[in-house]
A and B are shown apart, each in its own frame.
Chain A
Amino acid sequence: MTGTAGVVQTSGNGEQAAASVWDIEAIGVWKTFGSTEALRGVNLQVSPGERLAIIGPNGSGKSTLLKVLATLLRPSAGTARLAGLDVQSQAFEVRRLVGVVCHQSFLYSDLTTLENLEFYGRMYRMPDPSERARQQLRLVGLEAHADVLGRDLSRGMQQRLALARALIQEPPVLLLDEPDTGLDQRWAAFLVDLLAEAAGQGRTVLVITHNLERSLDLADRVAVLNNGKITFTAKRDELDVASLKEAYLHHTGAVG
């Protein structure tokens, strides 16, 4: 079983190129909350059009890493870049370029699915929010439920709506935190196809999942995050489910 343990090469000398070699980039990212260290020097690079899956035990900092990349949190130390733009100093521009799916659905329970999408369409300054909203509903197969209130949606439907929302501004970069929870087989397969299609169109995808088997379907490369650091990364071609499980157990063992 091959794979690189530890850290990948760091990129350049920190200058901000308009078009970076990497589409998602984290260099020595630390995040502390008081005395809790969620991230301890994460180094990560994802090429344009690549799909990276991050797996790791609970509390390893996966969601925190995603939030830092999504500009929701500021790193306590280190730099992070999306499409060559710094997440701290150019946060506004970064937000236009990234679509995010999180544990929370970001949906308003008193608005219909259509109204929810229209609202986000407006927030992303889409030229024709209503039309765009309908398109997105069609994309995830919810057009029949356009007038259903957010609170009446099943978990699976919420996830699909969240995906529709994440893609509403056609972002080049996608960050997804366990998008497969709550999806039945059919829609989980749809998700895999969606991400494959997205990557095929040149979008860069970073997806967090705790389903080891699915990570190999969802991504081109897999990385293990443990205790706030990336401890292992390997290409999908180099792995099968068994060897991945072995590597995972090895790198998330007793000592981080």
Chain B
Amino acid sequence: MWQALRKPTFIIPALSAESGIAAFLTQALAIAAKDVRSEIRSREAVSGSLVFALLVMIIFNFAFDLEGEMAEVAGPGVLWVAIALAGMMGLGHVFAKEREQGGLQGLLLTPIDRGAIFLGKMTGALLLTLALEAFLLPLFALFSNVSILSPGLMVVVLMGTLGFVTVGTLFSAMAVTSRSRELMLPLLLLPVATPVLLAAVEGTRFALQGEPWSELVPPLTMLAAFDVVFLGLCPFLFEYVMEEMGA
């Protein structure tokens, strides 16, 4: 049994051949993979948020009678409200799992760049939210009788989700320390993510109306600006948030 406990060297223990960026990405990927695997096994986040999104869409349907003209006017807004609310449920889980057994402290103890933790968590959250949308969009098409088979729509949804999840991951880390986690996340995220929702709704509207790519450029530019700014800023700020998570 003791052979496994080899004599330590006081030089840095043998690491894998990868270094720098490769190691960064490998670690981030490992975190994302762990989160996805964990979610597949427990199905907490996705099932809850999916049902919630469905309920939101159904209730809006009764409120606005989303057929014909109304579908065009209110449809995109309803869709993105459902995505935002359900997405926030999922985002709440991103760090909640880590709280259970102190997984976050366990991660912070390892020689991992905090930015890699952010990237991994964000990627995991992004994949799960996209999975949610993969269910939601066909249902939306069903309810409002529109076609969602538009590449423009896919791009809008992708870029909008990216922006939302980026800032959402950062705020989720902050919210998880609070007892009123479900309150804090929307409080922080919704005001800040307004441009995303705005541009995504309009972009969705154009795409569903079959507008050419030239019409989609303005909302996509808006989404791109948001994504770029916050993808740059959030990992950096995340390190400061992680410093406060040791206790």
A and B touch in the complex (CB under 8 A): yes
Which A residues contact B (CB, under 8 angstroms)?
19, 33, 67, 70-74, 83, 92-93, 95-98, 100, 102-111, 115, 119-120, 122-127, 135-136, 138-139, 141, 149-150, 165, 167, 169-172, 194, 197-198, 201-203
Complex formed: what's the CA distance from A102 to B106 in Å?
9
CB <8 Å contact, A122 and B30: yes
List 8 tightest A-B contacts by C-beta distance, closest first.
A106-B106, A104-B102, A72-B246, A123-B110, A110-B38, A139-B4, A95-B111, A122-B30
B108: interface (CB < 8 Å): yes
Q: Which residues of A contact B100 (CB under 8 A)?
A: 109
**B42 proximal to A (CB < 8 A):** yes
Residues of the B chain whose Cβ atoms lie less than 8 Å from the Cβ of A33: 247
Cβ contact within 8 Å between B105 and A72: yes
Given A93-B111, A102-B105, 16 more pairs with CB closer than 8 A: A19-B10, A72-B246, A93-B12, A95-B110, A95-B111, A104-B101, A104-B105, A106-B101, A106-B103, A107-B106, A108-B97, A110-B42, A124-B110, A170-B9, A197-B5, A203-B8
Q: Is B191 an interface residue (CB 8 A)?
A: no
Nearest Cβ on chain B to A148's Cβ, whole angstroms: 13
Question: Bound complex: CA of A165 vs CA of B109, how far in Å?
Answer: 11
Are A119 and B13 closer than 8 Å at their CB atoms? no
CB distance A111 to B111 under 8 Å?
no
Interface residues of B in 34-52 (CB under 8 A from A): 34, 37-38, 41-42
Bound together, the chains give a CA A223 to CA B106 distance in angstroms of 26
Chain B: residues with Cβ within 8 Å of the partner, total of 41
Decide yes or no whether B26 CB sits under 8 A from chain A.
yes
Bound together, the chains give a CA A120 to CA B105 distance in angstroms of 12
Q: Which of A74, A108, A125 has the most CB of B within 10 A?
A: A125
Q: Are B5 and A111 in contact (CB under 8 A)?
A: no
B15 beta carbon closer than 8 Å to chain A: yes
| Residue B69 interfacial (CB < 8 Å) | no
Question: Which residues 9-28 of B sit at the A interface, judged by CB distance below 8 A?
Answer: 9-10, 12-18, 23, 26-27
Q: In the assembled complex, which residues on chain B have CB atoms less than 8 Å from the CB atom of A135?
A: 4
Tell me what chain A mostly uses at the interface: helix, strand, loop, or mixed: loop
Interfacial chain B residues near A169, Cβ < 8 Å: 13
Can you report 10 A-B residue pairs in the complex whose CB atoms are below 8 A from each other? A72-B246, A95-B109, A95-B111, A105-B102, A107-B101, A107-B106, A109-B100, A125-B23, A127-B16, A149-B41
B7 at the interface (CB under 8 A from A): yes
Q: Do B105 and A122 touch across chains, with their CB atoms under 8 A apart?
A: no
Residues of B within 8 A of A93 (CB): 12, 111
Q: In the complex, A107 Cα to B38 Cα: how many Å?
A: 12
- Tell me whether B134 is interfacial, beta carbon within 8 Å: no
CB of B112 within 8 A of chain A? yes
A33 to B148, CA, bound (A): 53
Residue in B12, B16, B106, B246 whose beta carbon sits within 8 Å of that of A67 in the complex: B246
B107 pairs with A123, CB closer than 8 A? yes
Whether B16 lies near A92 (C-beta < 8 A) is no
B63 lies within 8 A of chain A by Cβ: no
Q: Which residues of A contact B183 (CB under 8 A)?
A: none
| Shortest beta-carbon distance from A147 to chain B in Å | 12
Residues of B within 8 A of A201 (CB): 5-8
Contacts of B34 in A (CB 8 A): 108, 111, 115, 119
Give the nearest-CB partner of A48 in chain B.
B10
Known A110-B37, A150-B101: A167·B112 in contact at CB below 8 Å = no
Question: How far, in Å, is A134 (CB) from chain B's closest CB?
Answer: 9
B95 CB to nearest A CB, Å: 13
In Å, the complex CA distance between A100 and B246 comes to 13
A101 to chain B, nearest CB (A): 10
User: Do residues A110 and B105 form an inter-chain contact, with CB atoms below 8 A?
Assistant: no
User: What's the least CB distance linking B42 to chain A, in Å?
Assistant: 5
State the Cβ distance, B107 to closest chain A Cβ, in Å: 7
Closest to A165 in B: B106
Report yes or no: A119 in contact with B38, Cβ–Cβ below 8 A. Answer: no
A122 touches B27 (CB 8 A): yes
How many angstroms from the CA of A255 to the CA of B41 in the assembled complex?
52
CB pair A72 B102 closer than 8 Å: no
Q: What's the least CB distance linking A204 to chain B, in Å? A: 10
A111–B7 contact, CB under 8 A? no
Closest partner residue, chain A, to B102 (CB atom)? A104
